[in-house]
Amino acid sequence: MMRILFLFFAVLFIQCESTQDKLKQPKEPPFGIVIHGGAGTILKANMTPELEKEYRQVLAEAVAVGHGILKAGGTSQEAVEKTIHVMEDSPLFNAGKGAVLTAEGHASLDASFMDGKTLNAGAISGVQHIKNPITTAIAVMEQSPHVMLSGKGADAFAASLGLDTVPNNYFITERRKNALKRVQEREASEVSFYDPFIRDSKFGTVGCVALDKAGNLAAGTSTGGMTNKKWDRIGDAPIIGAGTYANNNSCGVSATGWGEFFIRSVVAHDIAALVEYKGVDIKTAAKTVLQKVADLGGDGGVIVLDRKGNVAMEFNTQGMYRAHMDAQGNLTIKIYGDE
Ligand code: ASP
């Protein structure tokens, strides 16, 4: 009996010791990264297994690049920039190479970036020669006294800094040429911008929100906008507060969807404001603001990350390309609404 009692207390003692050891170990700060590759009518029925595999591979690669930077102690700014490069360089997404085409048949790109620590921000719209628009958005923030540059001026700014510039046909893919043709034919016959086919063939923006070990949030968004856009139309992606927002006091947000409605609902800032002023959790805040968008007649999605590393990936379309990796390296990659 004594022996059993002795053994029992010995085991208890060892367990207490190991729990104490664990408590003594410095806790890894809650860094993390979340990305989207656009929201829309993304249905398994319309996807081949090969294409789905490609999407999942690029999402995994992009999130791993940012996670590696954060794990090594890099900044959320660098993680957002380098992660978005992977998606801008992939022809799969509507950003950089593979961007959707304007009514005139060329690519015209928008991007923005915001730093949650300083509330510094940079954005560009309607550029035609900048290989990685997110890098120029960051350069506007760091190397100009402005927040937003547009068109030829923004292209010239990037060239003056020696950033990578390319001829416009670098961005153009067969897939986007076909999509432009289809949308133009449809628009000519139905003359409705609200036609579901036309609407859904337009999305595919990319975005990223990261939290680094120092507790700083950053968010970025990059897009080609909407297929068959005219009159130098600008969407929500380059507009700070609509498509992108980051504030260490609340959260970082990047949006995708029908830009006109996201501008009118000031989506990214509205989510951050609910979190900051009302103490609402990020998931509820994202759902609340997306409902506002839906009530106006728009649709799309958002990714949100807060300072504790909590993540939300919400959308009111049928799917959204999305991925998240936490400090422990747990990876989530999802495409469809019912995953
Ligand atoms: N929000 C983008 C725009 O309206 C489109 C997208 O998300 O794909 O320009």
Tens digits of residue pLDDT in 96-128: 999 999 999 999 999 999 999 999 999 999 999
Q: Tokens standing for 289?
A: 């603001």
Mean of all residue pLDDT scores within the chain: 90
Residues 6 or more apart whose CB falls under 8 angstroms from that of 2 comprise none
- CATH (domain of 107): 3.60.20.30
Stronger pLDDT, 59 or 25, i.e. the higher one: 59
Residue 304 counted as domain residue: yes
Identify the pLDDT of residue 40.
83
* CB 42, CB 335: distance < 8 Å: yes
Distance 256 CA to ligand 1 centre (A): 5
The stretch 306-315 carries a mean pLDDT of 97
CB of 203 closer than 6 angstroms to any ligand 1 atom: yes
CB of 254 closer than 6 angstroms to any ligand 1 atom: no
Residue 196 counted as domain residue: yes
Query: Of all residues in the chain, what percent carry a pLDDT higher than 70?
Result: 88
Residue 21 counted as domain residue: no
Identify the pLDDT of residue 16.
45
Residue 51 counted as domain residue: yes
Residue 137 counted as domain residue: yes
**Ligand 1: which of 203, 221, 254 to mutate, most ligand atoms within 8 Å of CB?**
203
Q: Is the pLDDT of residue 1 over 60?
A: no
CB of 38 closer than 6 angstroms to any ligand 1 atom: yes
**Ligand 1: which of 221, 226, 253 to mutate, most ligand atoms within 8 Å of CB?**
226
* Total tally of structural domains belonging to the chain: 1
Identify the pLDDT of residue 190.
59
Identify the pLDDT of residue 200.
56
Residue 14 counted as domain residue: no
The stretch 30-54 carries a mean pLDDT of 89
Q: Measure the CA–CA gap between 78 and 138, rounded to whole angstroms.
A: 10
Answer whether 0.85 is exceeded by the pTM: yes
Residue 20 counted as domain residue: no
Distance 29 CA to ligand 1 centre (A): 33
Identify the pLDDT of residue 79.
98
Distance 38 CA to ligand 1 centre (A): 8
**Ligand 1: which of 258, 296, 316 to mutate, most ligand atoms within 8 Å of CB?**
258
Cβ atoms < 10 Å from Cβ of 109: 32
Identify the pLDDT of residue 12.
47
Identify the pLDDT of residue 113.
98
Of 83, 135, 205, 227, which is the active-site residue? Answer: 205
Q: Is the pLDDT of residue 19 over 90?
A: no
Whole domain around residue 186: which residue ranges?
A: 32-336
Q: Measure the CA–CA gap between 152 and 129, rounded to whole angstroms.
A: 9
Residue 94 counted as domain residue: yes
205 is catalytic: yes
The stretch 246-271 carries a mean pLDDT of 97
